[in-house]
Amino acid sequence: MPKYILKRAIMSLITAFLVATMTFFVMNMVPGGPFLAEKAVTPQAQAAMEAKYGLDKPLIKQYTTYMTGLLHGDFGLSIKKRGRTVAQIIAVKFPVSARIGGMALVLAVLTGVPLGAVAAFNRGKFLDNLIIVLSTAGIAIPSFLSSTLLVYVFTTKLHLLPSLGLKDARSYVMPVIALALYPSFYMARLMRSSMLDVMGQDYMRTARAKGVTTFKSIFKHALRNAILPVITYLGPLLASLMTGSFIVEKIFNIPGLGSEFVSCITSRDYPMIMGTTIFLAVFVIVMNLFVDIAYAFVDPRIKLK
Amino acid sequence: MEEIKKNPLSMQVSMEDFMPASGEDKESLVIMRESVGFWKDGIRRFRKNKIAMSAFFLVLLIMIFCFIVPAFYPYKYEQQMKGSERLAPMQYSKVEKAEMEKGEKIFPHLLGTDQNGRDYMIRVLVGGRVSMTVGLVASVLILMIGSVFGAIAGYFGGIIDMIMMRIVDIIYTVPDVLIIILLAQTLKFPLEKLSMLPAFTWMQKLGSNMISMFIVFALLYWVGMARIVRSQIMILKQSEYVTAARALGAGPGRIIFKHLIVNCIGTLIVTTTLQIPSSIFTESFLSFLGLGVQAPMPSLGSLASAALNGFQTYPEKLFAPAFLIFIIILSFNLLGDGLRDAFDPKLKQQ
C-alpha cells in the first residue's frame, strides 16, 4: 500500500508538471496579451510593464523562471490585480467556492444515494418508476435553467430568498441546491443500477438464507457493495464542485474561484491562469488518488499495486 | 436387399436406423424458429421497450421540427422586422395589424419576437438545429478518436498503454474551460483565413466558432470514450477468435479493426448515443458563456443566455430554448438507456 501511494504520487507529480508545461505554451501561443485591453497605453509604458513582469524575455526563459518560482512555492504576481500575489487571490476565492461546493456535495450524497437505494428496493413499483422519471428528467436540466428557475420562484414570486451575493445563511440555499441538483439525480441513477446488480448476487441470497434480517442485509451487505461506483464518481465530482461552477457563480453573483478563473483567462492574466490551472489540476489529481485509496478500504477484494 | 433375420434378444444393430430418412422424419428437424442474430435480437428487445420507442419517435419529431420545418417557415431566423420588436407570443405589431385589415394573411409570432424584431419561434428552432448538429458531429468525432485510441491502448498494453493512458489523464486533468477559451481564440484567425480559400467557403457558413468548437470537442472529450473502449478491448483480446486470427497471421491493425472494434459495437452505439446529450449540454454551456456559436446564428445556449437579462419581464424567452434543450437531452438520454438495455450483452440475462 505505501509503495502504491508513493508510485501514484510520483505519477501525479509528473502529470501536474506536464499540465503546467502544456498550459504555459498553449497560453502563450494565443494572440493578444494582458496589456492590449487597456486603452491609451503608450508603447513605452507597455514595454515597461512587460519588462516588469518579465514578458519581454524569450519564452523559454520565461518558462524556466516560472517553473523555478513554482518549485519554490511561488505562484507569482497577478497582472490585473496590482500588488496581489496569485496565491493570495486563490486563498481568498477558493474557500468561498469550496464552502458552497462542499455543502452541495453533502446534499447530493444525502439525497441521491437514498433515492437510488429506495428505487432499487421497490423495483418495478410506483415509487421506483417515479424516481426513475424524476432522476432522468433531473439530469436533463442545464444548470443555468435550474438556477434561474430557483431565482424566479423563490425571489421574484415568493420573495423568500435573496438572489445575489453571500450575505447570510439564507443566501447559500439556492446556489447549493442549484449545484447539487445534477449530481444528486446522477447518483440516484448510479446507485439504483448498482444496487440492482448487488441484490442479484449470491451472497445476498446466502445472507437471507442464513436468517439475516432484511434491515441488516441491506446495510451490511447491499449498501456497502453498491456504493462503490458512487465513490468512483465522487472524486471528480468533489473536485469540480469545490473549485466552483462558473454558471452558478455568475447567476448568483458569488465571488468564487470559478468566475475568477474564466475572467482571468479572458483578460490574459498569465500568472493567474497558470496558478489556477495548476491548483485545479493538483486538486483533481489528489481527489482521484484519495478515491482509489478509499476504494481499497471499502472493497478488500481490490488490491492496489 | 437381403433380409437379415432378427433375433429379438440380440443386441445387433437394427438396419432400419441406417435407412434414408422419410419425409416425416425430416419434418421434425425443420427449424422451429429462425436463429436470432445480434441486431435482430437487440432491435426486438428495443421495440418492446415503450419508453425507449417513444423517446426514439420524439427524437425524430424534434429533428423534423429543427431540420425541415425552418425551410418552410414564413420567417427567417436572421430576418429583422422593423416595428415588431419585443412582441409577446401571438401578438401582432401595428404594421402587421394594418396589413391584416387589408386582408393579407400574417403568420403569427408563436413565441413573439426579440429586441431586433426577429421571430423568436424560428430562432429557437434554428437554435435547436445548431445545437443538434454540434451534438451529432461532436459525438461522431469523439467516437472515431476515442475508439481508435482506446482500442490501440487496450490491445497493445504494457508501456504503450501506460503512455497513452497518461495522455488521457493529462487531458482529463486540464480544466476544459481553459482549453476551450484558449483554443477558440487561437483558432479564430487561422480558420477565418482558411475559410477565404475557395475550397473552404462552406466554413464561412458555419462560422469559425462552430468549427473551433468541433475541434475542441474532438480534442477534449474523447477521453471518456477511450477509457470505456480500452477496458472492453482488454477483455475481448483474450477471446479465442483473436488467438485464431493471430495464428492465421493477422496483424494488429486487422485484429483491432476487423475483430475487436466490431465486437464492441454495442458499447460504441450506446456510448455515442449517450454522448450526444452531453455534447449538447456542453455546447449550451459554452454558448451561454458566449464562447459558442456566433451571432446572428442562434444556438439554444446563446438564446437562453441573451434572455437572462430581461428574464423578469420576458420569462418565456428564456424558458422556450431552455425547455427545448431539456426535451432534446431527455429524449436522447432515454433513447441511449433503451439502446443500452437492448444491445449491452452484459444486461441480456436480466
**Domain assignment of residue B53, yes or no:** yes
d(CA B138, CA B227): 17
User: Can you tell me which residue has the cell 504503450?
Assistant: B160
A265 in contact with B, Cβ within 8 Å: yes
CA distances from A276 to A54, A264, A273, A285, B194 (A): 20, 9, 5, 14, 33
**What's the average model confidence in pLDDT over B186-199?**
71
Q: Say whether pLDDT at B95 is over 80.
A: no
**Domain assignment of residue B166, yes or no:** yes
B55 in contact with A, Cβ within 8 Å: no
Q: Exposure string (b/e) for A167-196, b if CB count within 10 Å is 16 or more?
A: eeeebbebbbbbbbbbbbbbbbbbbbbbbb
**Domain assignment of residue B220, yes or no:** yes
In the prediction, which pLDDT does A38 show? Answer: 57
A124 in contact with B, Cβ within 8 Å: no
> Are residues B185 and A281, on separate chains, in Cβ contact within 8 Å?
no
Confidence of residue B294 (pLDDT cuts 50, 70, 90): low
Q: Which of residues 164-193 of B touch A (CB under 8 A)?
A: 166, 169-170, 172-175, 177-179, 181-183, 185-186, 189
Which residues does A78 contact at the CB level (< 8 Å), separation at least 6? A84, A85, A86, A89, A264, A269, A271, A272
- Considering only CB atoms, which chain B residues are within 8 Å of A22? 170, 174
B329 in contact with A, Cβ within 8 Å: yes
In the prediction, which pLDDT does B204 show? Answer: 65
Q: Say whether pLDDT at A11 is over 90.
A: no
B283 to chain A, closest Cα gap in Å:
11
Q: Say whether pLDDT at A103 is over 90.
A: yes
Q: Which residue has the higher pLDDT, B282 or B59?
A: B59
Q: Considering chain A, what percentage of its residues have pLDDT values greater than 90?
A: 8
> Are residues A262 and B289, on separate chains, in Cβ contact within 8 Å?
yes
In the prediction, which pLDDT does B349 show? Answer: 44
d(CA B258, CA A187): 37
Q: Say whether pLDDT at B107 is over 50.
A: yes
- Considering only CB atoms, which chain A residues are within 8 Å of B301? 142
State which amino acid sits at residue B118.
Answer: R
Best B59, B166, B167, B174 member to test A by mutation, with max A CBs in 10 Å, is B174
**What's the average model confidence in pLDDT over A73-98?**
83
Q: Say whether pLDDT at A302 is over 70.
A: no
How many CB pairs below 8 A link A and B? 106
CB-closest option in B186, B301, B325 to A29: B186
Domain hosting B270: range is 46-92+107-347
> Are residues B311 and A152, on separate chains, in Cβ contact within 8 Å?
yes
Give the DSSP per-residue string, B60-79: HHHHIIIIIHHHH-SS-TT-
Give the DSSP per-residue string, chain A: -HHHHHHHHHHHHHHHHHHHHHHHHHHHHSS--TTSSSSS--HHHHHHHHHHTTTTS-HHHHHHHHHHHHHTT---B-SSSTT-BHHHHHHHHHHHHHHHHHHHHHHHHHHHHHHHHHHHHTTTSHHHHHHHHHHHHHTTS-HHHHHHHHIIIIIIIS--S--SS--STHHHHHHHHHHHHHHHHHHHHHHHHHHHHHHTSHHHHHHHHTT--HHHIIIIIIHHHHTHHHHHHHHHHHHHHHT--HHHHHHTT---HHHHHHHHHHTT-HHHHHHHHHHHHHHHHHHHHHHHHHHHHH-TTPPP-
B100 to chain A, closest Cα gap in Å:
37
Q: Which residue has the higher pLDDT, A113 or B22?
A: A113
d(CA A290, CA A93): 24
Confidence of residue B346 (pLDDT cuts 50, 70, 90): low
**What's the average model confidence in pLDDT over B191-213?**
71
In the prediction, which pLDDT does A123 show? Answer: 83
- Considering only CB atoms, which chain A residues are within 8 Å of B287? none
This model of the complex carries an ipTM of 0.74
- Considering only CB atoms, which chain B residues are within 8 Å of A266? 181
How do residues B253-285 score in pLDDT, each as one tens digit? Answer: 898 888 888 888 878 888 888 888 888 888 887
> Are residues B304 and A19, on separate chains, in Cβ contact within 8 Å?
no
B314 in contact with A, Cβ within 8 Å: no
A169 to chain B, closest Cα gap in Å:
25
Q: Say whether pLDDT at B115 is over 60.
A: yes
**Domain assignment of residue B30, yes or no:** no
B341, closest residue in chain A (CA to CA) = A193
Count of structural domains within chain B: 1
**Domain assignment of residue B172, yes or no:** yes
Average pLDDT, chain A: 82
**Domain assignment of residue B87, yes or no:** yes
**Domain assignment of residue B177, yes or no:** yes
Average pLDDT, chain B: 79
CB-closest option in A11, A29, A140 to B329: A140
Phi, psi of B51 (to 5 degrees): -65, -45
- Considering only CB atoms, which chain B residues are within 8 Å of A260? none
A159 in contact with B, Cβ within 8 Å: no
Residue B64: give its domain's CATH number: 1.10.3720.10
How do residues B122-160 score in pLDDT, each as one tens digit? Answer: 888 888 888 888 888 889 999 999 999 999 998 988 889
d(CA B281, CA B304): 13
CB-closest option in A11, A16, A30 to B186: A30
Helices B222-236 and B208-220, packing angle to 10 deg: 40
How do residues A126-173 score in pLDDT, each as one tens digit? Answer: 898 889 888 888 888 888 788 888 888 888 788 777 777 777 778 888
In the prediction, which pLDDT does A112 show? Answer: 93
H/E stretch holding B13:
none
**What's the average model confidence in pLDDT over B303-332?**
82
The burial of A267, by beta-carbon neighbours within 10 Å (0-12 exposed, 13-18 middle, 19 or more buried), is given as middle
**What's the average model confidence in pLDDT over B174-182?**
73
- Considering only CB atoms, which chain A residues are within 8 Å of B318? 145, 148
In the prediction, which pLDDT does A109 show? Answer: 93
* Domains of chain A in sequence order: 89-255 (1.10.3720.10)
Q: Considering chain B, what percentage of its residues have pLDDT values greater than 70?
A: 79
**Domain assignment of residue B5, yes or no:** no
A51 in contact with B, Cβ within 8 Å: no
B189 to chain A, closest Cα gap in Å:
9
Confidence of residue B350 (pLDDT cuts 50, 70, 90): very low
